[in-house]
Amino acid sequence: MSTINVTLSQPLEQFVARQVAYLECTDSSEYVEQLIEADLERQRQVDEHHWQLVQEGLASGTPVSADEFWQQVHKETERRRQEHKIRSNQ
């Protein structure tokens, strides 16, 4: 196991001390280790979600170029703007 030294302001040091006591950690190292493990798990979940989104995108049909996609977005935006304009004038 390796050691990392961290310099904390007094308010942060006090916060860590309260968290160590509240969470019944043996020391600040255990508290920091728990934080890092929780962050790693959160990152794994985010990565898994992104992978699922990529897979859904790949399975969603025929690929469209970015230029074609944005042309479609602009057309739809213009169509909706005109539709809104017509309704507003009635």
Stated pTM of the model: 0.62
Domain ranges in the chain are 8-59, 62-90
Amino acid of residue 9? S
Q: Closest by alpha carbon to 28, among 43, 18, 39?
A: 18
Amino acid at 63: P
DSSP labels for 1-42? ---------HHHHHHHHHHHHHTT-SSHHHHHHHHHHHHHHH
Of the listed ranges 39-43, 50-54, 65-69, 81-85, the one predicted with least confidence? 81-85
User: What is the C-alpha separation between 85 and 79, in angstroms, rounded?
Assistant: 10
pLDDT tens-place string over residues 47-70: 999 999 999 998 998 888 999 999
Residue 46: both structure tokens together? 């985010």
